Structure 1
Amino acid sequence: MSFLKFILKNPFRRKTSAVLAIVGIAIGIIVIVALGGITEGLVNTFEETIHAGGADFQVSGKETGDSAYGTNTINASWTDKIASVEGVDEAYPIYVVLTSVGDEYMNTLIGIDSNGTSLADISMKEGRIFEDNSSEVILGEIYAEDNNYSVGDSIEIDGEDFEVVGIYETGDQNMAGGVFTSISKVGEIMDDEDSISNIYVKVEKGADAQEVADRIDARYGDNITTVTSVMEMTQMADMLNTLQGSTWAISLLAIVVGGLGIINTMLMSVFERTREIGVLKAVGWSNRRILLMIVGESMVITLVSAIIGSLIGFLGCTLLGPQMGIDPLFTPKIFVQAFSIAVVVGIIGGLYPAIKAIRLPPTEALRYE
């Protein structure tokens, strides 16, 4: 029988103790995999929440000026510069002006690319989004109600007729009374198509919004500034770090508990095989070979536990998670972590009993009954 086959078969010669050891370690692996899947699912949900809807922050001019935000307008070319910064997923310019809208001599008109309206943190209540480069507008629900406008009506803006194609709602009361249209139309109205007021910035999933904002400030801070944090980025980052840290805490606990369990199992195995170990030494087995045998047997038990625990953890979370309102997400990292812990537990659990075995004098071992 080869040395490898010897190691693979030995742990299961005493089926009861092997099964108990496997069950004990598998429970720890189940917890690691299940908690890892739940944690990754929650992290993914939080990240989607952070990056859903409105922009993470805005970029505006550095100096005070006469724009609707009280800052100077900036050149539209800044949009491409901001979009190229590491960590930026989307960047859309907006042009906010005060002009005559309907019967009001002065009201807020917001120009934006139709694809960028999602970053403005608005959602359609009726109708649809305007088309770019068209004489179409969407009205805030407060403005529409106060002025009795509905989808399909016509509204005059700076002397030009626009069609109301939608009514939007938003949590921002300042924007609920505004009017959105294509940014190109606002440029035409203002006779200044190269200027913008602000840039909505959305960061890549997984990126830290504050770090991206700081990166922009570091590179372009002499000309522009990042303003108006939409999310409580620091608090959300702390929550994500806490969730991810909990997985490592459970993993450490599993190492300690699993290590103690396998040490006890392998010590009993060594104790029961004292005479056998003495025979192996008597026929010429080196201390190194005996150490490898016992540590190998320990690792066989923990790896079998990892396979069983990973399968149960995965299937359990996948089947039961949705019923409890949890959407687990399993990544290769979770299983790599689980098997790495199993290897560590196997080495730690087998090392001490192996050292005890190699220190056993052959003559004393042979006399043992």
Structure 2
Amino acid sequence: MSFLKFILKNPFRRKNSAILAIVGIAIGIIVIVALGGITEGLVNTFEDTIHAGGADFTVSGKETGDSAYGTNTISSNWTEKIANVSGVDEAFPIYVVLTSVGDDYMNTLIGIDPNGTALADISMKEGRIFEDNSSEAILGEIYAEDNNYSVGDTIDIDREEFKIVGIYETGDQNMAGGVFTSISKVGDLMDDEDSISNIYVKVNKGEDPQTVADRIDSQYGDNITTVTSVMEMTQMADMLNMLQASTWAISLLAIVVGGLGIINTMLMSVFERTREIGVLKAVGWSNGKILTMIVGESLVITIVSAIIGSLIGFAACTILGPQMGIEPLFTPKIFIQAFAIAIVVGIIGGIYPALKAVRLPPTEALRYE
């Protein structure tokens, strides 16, 4: 029998001890895999929440001015510059003006690309989004109700007739009473197609919005400024960090418990095999070979535990998670972490008993009954 086969088979000669050791370590691996999947699922859900709906932050002019937002308008070519900054997923310009709308001498008119309305954090209650460069508009729910407008009606905007094609709702009270239309149409109305008020910015999933905002400030901060994120990024980041820290804390506990379990199992194995180890030394086995054997047996037990624990953890989360309203997400990193922990526990758990074995004088071991 080869040395490798000997190491693979030897731990299971004492089946009860091996099974108990495997169960103890597998429980720790189950916890690590299950918590890892749940945490990754929650992180993914939080990121989807952060990256759903409104923009992560906005970019505006640096100086104060007479625009609707109290800053100077900026050139539309800034949109392309911002879109090319690392970490930016989407950038859509908006043009906000105060002009005559319906019977109001002055109301807020917001121009935006139809594809960018999601970044404005609005959702359609009735009708549809306006088409680009058309005389179509959508009205805020409050404005429509206060002025008895419905989908299909017409409304005068800066002395031009627009068709109302939708009614939107939003959590932003500043926009609930406004009117949206195509940004190109607002440029025509204002006779200023090169100016915009702000740029809505959406960052790539997995990116920290504040980091991207700081990156924009460092490149273009002399000319433009980033405005506070629509989402409460700091609170979200703190929550994610807390979840990940909790997972690592429980993983550490599992490592300690698993390590103590394997040390105890291997010590008992060495104790029970004292005479056997003495015989091996007497026939010429070196201390290094005996140490390799003990640590190898420890690794066999922990790797088997990692396989069993990973399968059970994955299956349990996949079956039970959705029933508890949790969608676990398993990544290769979770299983790599679980096996890495098992290997570390196997090495640490086997070294101490192995050192005890190699220090045992052969004559003393042979006398042991």
TM-score interval w.r.t. the shorter chain?
A: over 0.9
Residue 367 of structure 1 deviates from its aligned partner by 1.1
Whether 1:315 and 2:310 are equivalent positions in the alignment is: no
Whether 1:77 and 2:77 are equivalent positions in the alignment is: yes
Residue 192 of structure 1 deviates from its aligned partner by 0.7
Residue 312 of structure 1 deviates from its aligned partner by 0.4
Q: d(CA) in 2 for partners of 1:292 and 1:254?
A: 25
In structure 1, what is the equivalent of residue 208 of structure 2? Answer: 208
| More deviation, 202-211/181-190 | 202-211
Q: Deviations over 1:103-144 (max 9, x none)?
A: 111111000001100000000000111111111110000010
Whether 1:297 and 2:327 are equivalent positions in the alignment is: no
Q: d(CA) in 2 for partners of 1:356 and 1:70?
A: 77
Pairing of 1:1-369 with structure 2 (within 5 A): 1-369=1-369
Q: Deviations over 1:76-101 (max 9, x none)?
A: 00001111111111110000001111
SS of the equivalent of 1:90 reads: strand
Q: d(CA) in 1 for partners of 2:172 and 2:93?
A: 19
Unaligned runs of 5+ in 1: none
Residue 64 of structure 1 deviates from its aligned partner by 0.8
Q: d(CA) in 1 for partners of 2:182 and 2:288?
A: 77
Q: d(CA) in 1 for partners of 2:199 and 2:79?
A: 7
The one-letter code of the counterpart of 1:193 is: E
Q: d(CA) in 2 for partners of 1:13 and 1:34?
A: 31
The one-letter code of the counterpart of 2:338 is: A
| More deviation, 239-248/188-197 | 239-248
The one-letter code of the counterpart of 1:297 is: E
Q: d(CA) in 2 for partners of 1:332 and 1:133?
A: 47
Q: Deviations over 1:150-185 (max 9, x none)?
A: 111111111211111100000011100000000000
Q: d(CA) in 2 for partners of 1:241 and 1:83?
A: 28
Residue 228 of structure 1 deviates from its aligned partner by 3.2
Residue 354 of structure 1 deviates from its aligned partner by 0.2
Residue 19 of structure 1 deviates from its aligned partner by 0.2
Unaligned runs of 5+ in 2: none
Residue 215 of structure 1 deviates from its aligned partner by 1.0
Q: d(CA) in 1 for partners of 2:84 and 2:276?
A: 69
Q: d(CA) in 2 for partners of 1:257 and 1:156?
A: 73
Q: d(CA) in 2 for partners of 1:89 and 1:183?
A: 20
SS of the equivalent of 1:360 reads: coil
In the superposition, the TM-score normalised over structure 1's length comes to 0.99
SS of the equivalent of 2:174 reads: coil
Q: Deviations over 1:262-298 (max 9, x none)?
A: 0000000001111111111111111000000000000
Q: d(CA) in 2 for partners of 1:268 and 1:286?
A: 21
Residue identity (%): 88
Q: d(CA) in 1 for partners of 2:60 and 2:127?
A: 31
Q: d(CA) in 2 for partners of 1:162 and 1:345?
A: 71
Q: d(CA) in 2 for partners of 1:162 and 1:75?
A: 26
Q: d(CA) in 1 for partners of 2:188 and 2:66?
A: 18
Aligned length: 369
Residue 229 of structure 1 deviates from its aligned partner by 2.1
Q: d(CA) in 1 for partners of 2:292 and 2:114?
A: 67
Q: Deviations over 1:203-233 (max 9, x none)?
A: 1111111111111111111100011321111
Residue 235 of structure 1 deviates from its aligned partner by 1.3
Q: d(CA) in 2 for partners of 1:227 and 1:336?
A: 40
SS of the equivalent of 1:174 reads: helix
Q: d(CA) in 1 for partners of 2:294 and 2:24?
A: 19
The one-letter code of the counterpart of 1:338 is: A
SS of the equivalent of 1:302 reads: helix
The one-letter code of the counterpart of 1:73 is: T
Q: d(CA) in 2 for partners of 1:77 and 1:242?
A: 41
In the superposition, the TM-score normalised over structure 2's length comes to 0.99
Q: d(CA) in 1 for partners of 2:10 and 2:250?
A: 30
